[in-house]
Chain A
Amino acid sequence: DAGVIQSPRHEVTEMGQEVTLRCKPISGHDYLFWYRQTMMRGLELLIYFNNNVPIDDSGMPEDRFSAKMPNASFSTLKIQPSEPRDSAVYFCASSLTEKYLRGQYFGPGTRLTVT
């Protein structure tokens, strides 16, 4: 399996622009997670889905952030409008079960820079 695939790997955009990050989970996995990594706060869970349905979005920082999972093999995280403080590495992860007996599988991340 190719693992979790994220695109783009790097994104540089200007403040106020819309940003869309994409994720393809591992085939057969029924949980998908979006995380944000910053120096100050480490890895923070933004939202997670089970069978394409959002379960917990309490980590989404503001209404500017939205996430969708239209099917089992694709998810997007959108920021509109983007702000410099959104600059971070965004990770997507998937797992076969919510019971993290062997952990989640992470993608390589998208490094977002908002100028």
Chain B
Amino acid sequence: AQSVTQLDSHVSVSEGTPVLLRCNYSSSYSPSLFWYVQHPNKGLQLLLKYTSAATLVKGINGFEAEFKKSETSFHLTKPSAHMSDAAEYFCVVIPLYNQGGKLIFGQGTELSVKP
């Protein structure tokens, strides 16, 4: 079965330093992968998506992610953290034979940004 594992439940960085949020996926095929962000008391917002067109995917707010099949990883990065990046981030996969509408979420990584 397809799944995603977020390797860190909490990451803390200082403002202006790089951000790395790690995600490994489990799939026997080339999956569709996403990163979503959830700010407190808000819904989920799509940051970026990978659908096999390019291994390096650029998203909103300066985030990007690289799909590495050899490592089964899809880590999210940002060169310089901003205070407004503090939120919870979810790595998401669409399961195989999905008949529509079902996303599988990782457990989430809470990002804290210190001034």
Does chain A bind chain B?
A: no
**Interface, chain B (partner A; CB < 8 A):** none
